[in-house]
Structure 1
Amino acid sequence: MTDTHPVLIRQLRPADRDAYFQLRLRGLKAHPESFGQSYEEALARGPEQHDARLQGLLAAEGEFLLGAFASTDTPLLGVVGLSRNQRDKERHKASVIGMYVAPEAAGRGVGRALLDELMRRAMRIDGLRQIQLVVASHNEAARKLYESAGFNKYGCEVGALNVGGVFHDADLMVRFL
């Protein structure tokens, strides 16, 4: 992936389920402090837990998963999702979920490409006014990426996640559309 070969970003489909699940497991195992779901919980629930989003039936409403590829027919390099709030009074909000870029693709613009495409799609969703996300407070690289994409920190949840008895803070960020 150089400037002459940009990363391919597309909505993930049911056929991508196994690749998506394996990449998600890698992220959960490598960075347990960055995800609400644990590796063990993910294994117990299995890949089926993602089937509804992978179907893509609610993509226009704000429920989708995107994947990054070097080109067609190459392994999945990164993922991100959008999850819209379902309660009537909160339908104007959605959350960035499950952002992860494989270490072998880090530093090559994959995260930026995923986030840019997510925001392009989010801006077309009727009634959506803000995108929120939660990022581990110590993850400076991710926070800088989000800030460069127009997200602003509005709070910090102290002790947001308990990973093996160690508590990790999380920054709350928002971008208004």
Structure 2
Amino acid sequence: MIIRVLQQSDAEMYHNLRLNGLQTNPEAFGSTYDRESQFSIETVTERIKPTMEKFVLGAFMEQGILVGIVTFVRESSIKTSHKGNVYGMYVTQEMRGNGIGKALMLQLIKKARDCEGLEQLNLAVVSNNVSAMSLYQSVGFVTYGVERNALKYNDEYYDEDLMVLPLKGHFISRGGLIQ
């Protein structure tokens, strides 16, 4: 398996995998298949274009098949630029359970630690997605809150656990020390 930052030339593979994720687990994403299936390849290309503030990692099988993705986006405001966000984690159903999600997250964390001034990573995960929560906990994320009814899909509501990973030392929340 090869994990690397996606480039503009990977846009079509990324788009196909993203659409697969939106169909397979629609409750897990803030977007929808109907919305993103309308995106032009130019829109997708711009979306994955890596910068100092954002990148998409892809996990490729030796045959060059993209089987997993995860996105990092740094906050842009002067008061929030110490934070980065993790979005769009997805591994194909047939490849789950092989450590690909963990490998993607560990590489994302490693790259995030290299961002000057970045102190923490945040993410939101659907509260009943036990396997995803377990993955995030295994790499050091802790839950600091729950947003009730965070997502609504097909008239069903989904709560999201809000999770954080301190990148530099630790910090103290209202609930106590987070390492």
Extract unaligned runs of 5+ from structure 2. 168-179
**Contact between 2:9 and 2:45, CA under 8 Å: does it hold in 1?**
no
Select 2:58's aligned residue among 63, 67, 72: 67
For the 8 Å contact 1:27–1:100, the answer to whether it is kept is yes
Q: Equivalent residue for 1:109?
A: 99
- Quote the residue 2:154 is aligned against: 164
- Partner residue in 1 for 2:86: 96
Q: Partner of 1:23 in structure 2?
A: 17
1:48 aligns to 2:5 (yes or no): no
2:163 is equivalent to residue 173 of structure 1? yes
Q: CA deviation at 1:45?
A: 2.9
Bigger RCO of structures 1 and 2 (CA < 8 A, at least 6 apart): 1
Note the aligned Cα RMSD (angstroms). Answer: 1.2
> Unpaired segments of 5 or more residues in structure 1?
1-6
Contact 1:34-1:135 at 8 Å conserved across structures: yes
Q: Quick one: structure 1 residues 81 and 104, their matched pair in 2 at CA, closer, same or farther if it must change by over 3 Å? A: same
Which whole-Å CA distance do the structure 1 matches of 2:145 and 2:43 have between them?
Answer: 30
C-alpha separation in 1, matches of 2:129 and 2:40:
27
Asked whether the 8 Å contact 1:53–1:64 carries over to 2, the reply is: no
Match of 1:37 in 2: 31
Q: Which whole-Å CA distance do the structure 2 matches of 1:46 and 1:161 have between them?
A: 25
Instruction: Tell me the TM-score normalized by structure 2.
Output: 0.89
Aligned amino acid, residue 90 of structure 1: T
Does residue 81 of structure 1 match 2:74?
A: no
**Alignment identity in percent?**
40
User: Per residue, is there more helix in 1 or in 2?
Assistant: 1
Partner of 2:112: 122
Q: Distance in 2 between matches of 1:66 and 1:114?
A: 7
Question: Scaled by the length of structure 1, what TM-score is found?
Answer: 0.90
Whether the 8 Å CA contact 2:69–2:89 is kept in 1: the answer is yes
Contact 1:35 1:98 survives alignment (8 Å): yes
SS at match of 1:44: coil
* Aligned positions, number: 167
